[in-house]
Each structure stands twice: as C-alpha cells, then as structure tokens.
Amino acid sequence: MAGKLRGRTLAGKPPGMLDSAMPDPLDLRGLACPLPVLKANKALRAMAPGETLVLLATDPAAVKDFHAYAQETGHELLAWAEEQGRPGERVFRFALRRRQEA
Amino acid sequence: MTVLLLTHRDGLQHDMGEGHPECPDRLRAVLQALDSEEFADLLRDEPEEATLEQLTRVHPADYVEAILAIRPREGDRIALDGDTIMSAGSARAALLAAGAAVRAVDEVCTGQVLRAFCATRPPGHHAERRRPMGFCFFSNAVVAARHAQAVHGLERVAILDFDVHHGNGTQDCVQNDPSILFASSQQMPLYPGTGEASETGVGNVFNAPLPPGAGGDAFREAWEGLLPAVEAFAPQLVIVSAGFDAHARDPLAQLRLAEPDFAWITQQICALADRCCGGRVVSLLEGGYDLAALASSAAAHVRTLLRS
C-alpha cells in the first residue's frame, strides 16, 4: 500500500517518512525448496547494499534454508515469523538485508 | 484506576489521500479495539480545539496562523512536504489533537482522572517549532507539557516517546528547556535521521537508538537505561508519545516488538509515575501503520493504563 507512494519524493530532496515504507513482500508462497532461496537470492542481488527484502513463503523448510542461506552469503536475516495463513496453510515472513559489500 | 479516553470523530476528516499510511482507518481501528467490553470502565469525552494561546507556548504565532490558513476546498489537498498533506478537515483535526492533549492535562492535573489516553490524529512528535514534518503539524506533547506548566504550575514535565521514529519535533521544541525532559527510543537508521545518543540538549534529552531488526529484548534494555534518568528528574507529570510502529508488522520500520512489549513499557511508565507524581500519565497516540497491530498494541497500552 505505502509502497506505491515511494515515487512521490522528488530526486535531490531529503528522504521522507514514506520512503522508509516497505514495498510489498515478494510472494514465494506455494514454492518448494530450493525455489524460495533461489528466487530470494535473485531479488537480493538486484538490490542495493543495506536494502531489505521481505518475502512470504509456505514451505516449512524455508525457515532452516534461509538461516543457512544467511550464514553462507553474509546477507542478514533480520527477522522471520510464522503468520496466520489460510486454514491448513503455514505462512512464513522473512526480512533479509543485503550485505554491505557487493 | 480512572482513565479518560479523549477522541473526536472529526479526527477522521483529516485525509492525506488514498494509500497514505496515516489514514482515517487508523483511528477507526484503535476506537474499535477500545470499544470491547473490557474497556467499559474508560471514561470517554470529546476534546475542543486548542487555542492560539495554547499553541503559541510552543510554536511562533506566524507558524500557527500559516498552518491554519491552509484550508483546501473539499476534495482538494495541499502537500506541505512529500509526507505531510492537508485536506479540508486537516486544520480542525490538528487543533482537536492538540486540544485533546491540553484537556487531558487539565483532567489529570486537577485529579479528575488518574491517567488519560488521546486517540487522535494527526500525530505531533515530528512537528518542529516552525516546520510541519512527517505527518505532523503541531507538537501535541509539548503543547500539553507547557500547558501543565503555565496553567497548573508544574515545574518539571517528562515526555517519553516510544514511537519507532525519533521525535525530532519534540526534541526541537524542548532541547533548550531544562524544565522538560525528553526520553526517546527509535530505530536508527530511519526517518527523520536524528536521535543519536549524543543528542542530549541541555542535559534534558535522552536518546536510545535501536538497529533495524531489534526486538523486544533490545527495546526493554534501552528503556531500562533511560528510565533511571527520568526518575532522577522527578517529573510532576509524565506525557507519553505512544507510537505503535515499532511493532514487527509495521510497514514503515523494521523493529520487531509485539503487544507484550507495549504493555511492558506502559507498565514501567505507570510505575515510575506512581513513584514520582501520584501516577499522573497523559498518553498521546503518535504512529502505528499496520491497522491490526496498531489496534492490538493500543489496546495493550490502554489495558495497562487501566490496570497498573
């Protein structure tokens, strides 16, 4: 929702409060290992150092996979949590921050 | 405990446009949560607009007049910066938010109630003496503090701010005023970019920055560091800038608090107020942009105001 407003701030102006809005999460629900990690890795590599990627996944193995991924790559797993999904569905939300050096 | 809830339906008339996170639904969500049976003991009333005299204890008169002169026609909007936008109902909503803070001080300082919570918008803690910023127009918390001093004769007032963004406006208004203490936790780096521990005012400002991703443990540790300084100041009234955007679900920041953390800080503040100033706490809604997290966190806050 707030992500739509990101373009509003004019170039050269100091960043505003809306610029810190999280974009919509990358939706990796329904994908099984290793696809969530591969797709997250691709998205992170397109981002600037220090930027945060938020994603949703439904594969319970993603919890272990993203911890291992962060350990191996040096990207930081800021947070993860299990969220309420549809009945019978487990949804996990992850926030990964791209490491500083390229 | 007697706790007063101040809110006004005209707070819904401040509309910064579709998709803006500081939206009327925030107020609806908070009020809906406070409508449940467990809050039946809350006293409820509507505030009046703050007066020019009350506002100019903080902001220069020409600033207040300039803001109030911006009255877009119904359906129009005027952006003061990329974040902070006025609609037809904005000036009145801003006056009611400041007026609620003033009224809360009156009720608490005269002993009519022990504590008060203002469910109001726009928020105030980014508004500097002469600059609107970050969804804020008037410094509701400092207007309240100066009112307590001018009308109720208090000498020392503390403003405690746990909104995830730094209360740069509050700090701007009080940093040269040793009669008001400002203590604040915030995510850094994050908007507005201030709030380093090295920003200390005239010894009356205490900042505790937290890194992105920090959770409840780091938050509690930060406040365990701040609260002794507040207690040493011996405030005669505690004003809270209660923002709930440090919640893990918030879309504008990256801290990881949950409802029990907001209950904890509220309990700590009430216990401090009980020791320093007969329990007097005036709490003002600041940020919080995930509607469900805002509602449940504000409910945890008010529940704790009622019970502790």
Tell me the per-residue pLDDT of A53-78, one tens digit each, with 9 for 90 and over.
Answer: 889 999 999 999 999 999 999 998 87
Measured in whole angstroms, the distance separating CA A20 from the mean position of its chain's CA atoms is 14
Phi-psi region of B203 (alpha: psi -120 to 50; beta: other; left: phi over 0): left
What confidence score (pLDDT) does residue A22 get?
62
Listed as ranges, residues in chain B with pLDDT below 70 are 1
Strand duo A26-28 + A52-57: pairing: parallel
Cβ-defined contact of A52 to B254 (cutoff 8 Å): yes
pLDDT bin (cut points 50, 70, 90) of residue A88 is: confident
Q: Is the preceding omega at residue B122 within 30 degrees of 0, hence cis?
A: yes
Contact with chain B for residue A38, Cβ under 8 A = no
Contacts of B19 in chain A (CB under 8 A): 1-2, 4-5
Q: What is the mean pLDDT of residues A31-37?
A: 93
What confidence score (pLDDT) does residue A38 get?
95
What confidence score (pLDDT) does residue A49 get?
82
CB atoms inside a 10 Å sphere around CB A61: 13
Residues in chain A: 102
Determine the residue among B23, B25, B250, B252 to mutate to test chain A binding: the one whose Cβ has the most chain A Cβ atoms within 10 Å. B252
Domain regions of chain A by residue span:
22-97
What confidence score (pLDDT) does residue B32 get?
98
Sign, CA dihedral A44-A47-A51-A57, equals negative
Domains of chain B from N-terminus onward: 3-307 (3.40.800.20)
Q: Which chain A residue's Cα is nearest to B193?
A: A15
Question: At residue A14, does pLDDT exceed 70?
Answer: no
What confidence score (pLDDT) does residue A18 get?
84
Q: Which chain A residue's Cα is nearest to B18?
A: A1
Contact with chain B for residue A24, Cβ under 8 A = no
Q: Regarding the domain with residue range A22-97, which homologous superfamily does it belong to in the CATH classification?
A: TusA-like domain (3.30.110.40)
